[in-house]
Amino acid sequence: MKVLYFAWLRERVGHGEENVSPPEEVRTIADLARWLATLSAGHAHAFENPAVVRAALDHRHAKPDAAIAGVREVAFFPPMTGG
């Protein structure tokens, strides 16, 4: 599964993209965020406050309890500030 990071999450993790193979018990976006946070100090810093992290599954906004089964691309990012 491809995971993308944007804005300060990308800076904290140290890269914008990675391929990961989470264990079977990682079923939702919230599970995945908790698991990713264990990968490095940078990941832990990026996910230290899950309340300010948003996510998308295959280019669509998704809630923390959304299932990630069958998803090709998961993205994590802060609240949007465009426009």
Partner 1 sequence: MRAFDVRVQADPFDIADEIAAMSGTGDVGAVVSFTGYCRADKSETGIDGALAALVLEHYPGMAEAEMERLMDEARTRWPLLGARIIHRHGRIVPGEQIVLVVTSSAHRDAAFAAASFLMDWLKTNAPFWKKEERAGGGDWVAAKDSDTDAALRWTKG
CA dihedral 9, 14, 16, 18 (to 10 degrees): -110
4 binds partner 1 (CB under 8 A): yes
User: With CB under 8 A as the contact rule, which of the stretches 7-15, 20-28, 35-43, 63-71 interacts with partner 1?
Assistant: 7-15
Least distance to partner 1, CB of residue 27, Å: 22
Return the sign of the alpha-carbon dihedral for residues 66, 67, 71, 77.
positive
What residue ranges bind partner 1 (CB under 8 A)?
A: 4, 6-8, 10, 56, 59-61, 75, 77-83
